[in-house]
């Protein structure tokens, strides 16, 4: 009896670890759709530092778009990416379609950082990235309004989060970005200078 149990133990262990291995453990495991319609895998940002922000066009915090563009311009040559994620989850403040959202951002804020198609960021129908992020940070760190911010490290780890009122250009956010940029590995002997819009 003991011998039979010992023979089946490796199979049981392999099965349990195999199931765990299927669970995403990195932001790089997720894929969005770009606002232009093509696939946007987060793995394309491997080695970069990414600030993921759920956005809306009709929110009192919408002027943060200007700060997001400013911080993108400040750090993008060092391997930093802002990723805007339009969502209509809060106050019906992003009712338009992708073309309308893109035009609004470009005309009003001269946005040229990458953006995704409109998705849900809370609840059962949330995008898988946001479900994963909620599991990483717990209820306190999940979006409660537009312009919630997640900072993803160069290896795909969720480093920290910032609530809606925290300005993207604040010392808190820029300090966290700089700390992660210091972790990023140089590519080809120099810092990566791609914009993340390829």
- The per-residue pLDDT for 24 is 77
Active site residue 59: yes
Q: How many CB atoms lie within 10 A of CB 149?
A: 22
Domain boundaries, the chain: 34-183
- The per-residue pLDDT for 14 is 35
Catalytic-role residue among 35, 49, 50, 59 = 59
pTM recorded for the entire structure: 0.83
If phi > 0 it is left, if psi is from -120 to 50 it is alpha, else beta; for residue 138 that is: left
Query: Does 126 have pLDDT greater than 80?
Result: yes
Domain 34-183 is in which class?
alpha beta
- The per-residue pLDDT for 186 is 55
- Rounded to whole angstroms, how far apart are CA atoms 171 and 98? 32
11 membership: H or E segment, kind and range: helix 2-21
- The per-residue pLDDT for 183 is 86
Contact 116, 33 (CB under 8 A): yes
**pLDDT, average across residues 54-72:** 98
Cα distances from 70 to residues 84, 167, 170, 174, in angstroms, run 14, 11, 11, 11
Query: Does 31 have pLDDT greater than 90?
Result: yes
- The per-residue pLDDT for 195 is 37
- Rounded to whole angstroms, how far apart are CA atoms 55 and 147? 5
Query: pLDDT by residue (tens digit) across 163-193?
Result: 999 999 999 999 999 999 998 765 433 333 3
Query: pLDDT by residue (tens digit) across 6-28?
Result: 444 443 333 333 334 466 789 99
């Amino acid at each position: 009896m003991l011998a039979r149990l010992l023979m089946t133990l490796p199979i049981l262990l392999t099965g349990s670890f195999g199931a765990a291995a299927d669970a995403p453990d990195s932001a790089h495991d997720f894929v969005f759709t770009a606002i232009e319609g093509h696939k946007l895998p987060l793995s394309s940002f491997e080695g970069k530092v990414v600030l993921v922000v759920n956005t809306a066009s009709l929110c009192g915090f919408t002027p943060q778009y200007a700060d997001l563009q400013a911080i993108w311009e400040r750090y993008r040559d060092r391997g930093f990416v802002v990723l805007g994620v339009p969502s209509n989850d809060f106050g019906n403040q992003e009712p338009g379609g992708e073309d309308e959202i893109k035009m609004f951002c470009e005309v009003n804020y001269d946005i040229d950082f990458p953006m995704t198609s409109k998705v849900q960021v809370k609840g059962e129908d949330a995008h898988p990235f946001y479900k994963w992020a909620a599991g990483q940070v717990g209820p306190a760190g999940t979006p409660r309004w537009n312009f919630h911010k997640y900072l993803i490290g160069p290896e795909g780890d969720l480093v920290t989060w910032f609530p809606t009122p925290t300005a993207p250009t604040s010392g808190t956010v820029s300090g966290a970005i700089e700390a992660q940029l210091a972790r990023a590995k140089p590519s080809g002997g120099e810092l990566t200078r791609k914009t993340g819009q390829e």
